[in-house]
Amino acid sequence: MKIAIIGYSGSGKSTLAEIIGKKYSIPVLHLDKVNFLPGWVERNIDESRRIAEEFMKKDSWVIDGNYGKFFQKERLEAADRIIFLDFNRFSCLLRAYRRYIIHKGKTRSSAAEGCIEKFDGVFIRWILADGRTKAKRDYFKSVLKMHGHKTVVIKNQRQLDLFLNRRMDYYVMG
């Protein structure tokens, strides 16, 4: 089973990837770990692409993130399931703030080593505005248009809870 998890920053992509990976013993790749080196320094693009490409050769995987530069088109085509976390911007902001409080001064498991959790004005602006441009919204619409038959859209915590408690086996294992 190959699962791609996409969605807005703070929506819970990495957490969901961990839950699915653990429950079904599927290897997980967090694209934030691929993109960054310690201190939030961007990794060399060729090295990052090599890491993503190698991981995608596995028989089963869960990959979370939206990075277009890491074979996004191929990743979505190869995925048996796509999960789109389409939470509203204020829910994402609250979730990101909670994540910051929990991991303040530390590196969370889905981030590259040495990338201390942060919650600053730039990130807040990304969650509320810059990460939700018309182009980004149009991109997600195009994913649904091209891959709607294998995409699960989750819009809020209630739907996520329902997915986790009742529907995950159906959607993940088919």
Taking each helix axis from N to C end, the angle separating 89-103 and 121-128, rounded to the nearest 10 degrees, works out to 150
Mean local confidence (pLDDT), 63-87: 94
Does CATH place domain 2-173 in 3.40.50.300? Answer: yes
How much is the average pLDDT of 10-15?
96
Q: What sign does the dihedral 138-158-112-118 (CA atoms) show?
A: positive
pLDDT single digits (tens) 118-161: 999 999 999 999 999 999 999 999 999 999 999 999 999 999 99
N-term to C-term CA, the chain: 9
- pLDDT band per the 50, 70, 90 thresholds, residue 165: confident
CA atoms within 13 A on the CB side of 49: 8
Strands (E), the chain: 2-7, 28-30, 36-37, 41-42, 61-64, 81-85, 151-154
- Domain extents in the chain: 2-173
